[in-house]
Amino acid sequence: MEMEDYYHQWGDNLLSGYKGAKKMHIDRALIVGMGGSGIVGHIARDIVNTLDLEIEIEVENTPHIPRWRAMCKTLILISHSGNTLETLEAADRLSEEAVETVAISTGGKLLETARDKGWIGIKVDPAPLPRLGLPQMLGALLKTLGVDENMVREASQQLSGEMRGIRSKADELADWLDSRNEVYVAYPLHLSSLGLRMWQMMAENAKRGVYLAPYPEASHNIIEAMMKNREGRGIYLVSTGDKYGEALKRIATGEGIDLYKADIDPSTNIIGGVLKTIATQDLATIHYARKKGVDPAATPYIDRFKELIREWRG
């Protein structure tokens, strides 16, 4: 199956992940994961905060977390394979301090450990590549955090029904990326996961780095770098129609900067809006990679890094 084709399953995968999880009553959570799995925690935090649910969420993408950070919290460990060494190392360090521990994975050592230690283990369906398994893992996490099922069902239907339009927008964005020598990804801080995911997928799929510019903070300093050396430069602006994004747009266009504005669809709920934006970005990076003759699926250096860590850990 081509990577692009798997996105047609994202709506169903979101719902299947939700159905397979356990709804919990959590006040404070520490979510730990790496790479394409770790971004799921950032997305869930943005959604929960936007919905104004009374849950305090911290997200970490490292095993180097002080033990006190897990105290009085539910520890949620996310790993598509269940064998991510950094996540397993964090589990070893933190699980004894947490109120309870939840493991979300397709299997592997993480779910084995969950079974042996009496943690809550949530098994999700595997994806062809870990980064493609985002919706089922997000669905499981959203249910764990107590997000309403009706919102998830609505988002699932929106994703399934609008994939053709999403792919068309992705083609347009891929063409825009192809015309830019340098790209800044500007995103609102309250939806930082959208910028982080674009940064990840440009690197992993297209093997190209981009600059991150979270606003409004970026507008107080990074904006000066964005507006200099304009030739061949573009700003990919993820916008919710807020005044900060609109101000950044006005300055950029006034200075002759080529700007691509990606608005979150106001007709969707926040889950659907975020996932539609992410699917568009993801597909654009895949299409852009193919334009450049790059294999978006291959990650030889990530694989080598994991091999070295495994060798050194013993």
Assign residue 93 the CATH number of its domain. Answer: 3.40.50.10490
Residue 193's pLDDT is 97
* 145, 263: one domain: no
Residue 185 has pLDDT above 70, yes or no: yes
The residues near 294 (Cβ < 8 Å, ≥ 6 apart) are 206, 207
At residue 299, the 3 state secondary structure works out as: coil
* 149, 38: one domain: yes
* 64, 107: one domain: yes
| Measured distance CA(135)–CA(118) in Å, rounded | 26
Q: Is the pTM of this model over 0.85?
A: yes
| Measured distance CA(72)–CA(63) in Å, rounded | 19
Residue 314 has pLDDT above 80, yes or no: no
- Counting DSSP H helices and E strands in the chain, the numbers are 13, 9
Residue 1's pLDDT is 64
- Across residues 182-200, what is the average pLDDT? 97
The total of structural domains in the chain comes to 2
* 17, 35: one domain: yes
Q: For residue 84, count other CB atoms closer than 10 A to its CB.
A: 28
* 10, 153: one domain: yes
Residue 94 has pLDDT above 90, yes or no: yes
* 168, 101: one domain: no
Q: Is residue 270 part of a domain?
A: yes
Q: Is residue 211 part of a domain?
A: yes
- Return the DSSP state at 52: T
* 11, 143: one domain: yes
Q: Is residue 296 part of a domain?
A: no
Stretch (H or E) spanning 88:
helix 85-94
Q: Where are the alpha helices (DSSP H) in 105-264?
A: 108-117, 134-144, 149-161, 163-178, 192-204, 222-226, 243-254
- Across residues 163-172, what is the average pLDDT? 95
Last residue of a domain, one of 105, 138, 157: 157
Stretch (H or E) spanning 14:
helix 10-19
* 284, 179: one domain: yes
* 171, 261: one domain: yes
Crossing angle between the packed helical segments 149-161 and 10-19, to the nearest 10 degrees: 160
Residue 268's pLDDT is 85
Last residue of a domain, one of 125, 157, 189: 157
Q: What is the CA radius of gyration of the chain?
A: 19
Residue 310's pLDDT is 85
| Measured distance CA(179)–CA(171) in Å, rounded | 13
* 58, 195: one domain: no
* 204, 263: one domain: yes
Q: Is residue 304 part of a domain?
A: no
- Do residues 272 and 14 touch, judged by C-beta distance below 8 A? no
Last residue of a domain, one of 112, 134, 157: 157
Residue 18 has pLDDT above 80, yes or no: yes
* 149, 267: one domain: no
Q: Is residue 308 part of a domain?
A: no
Q: Is residue 181 part of a domain?
A: yes
Domain range for 167? 163-291
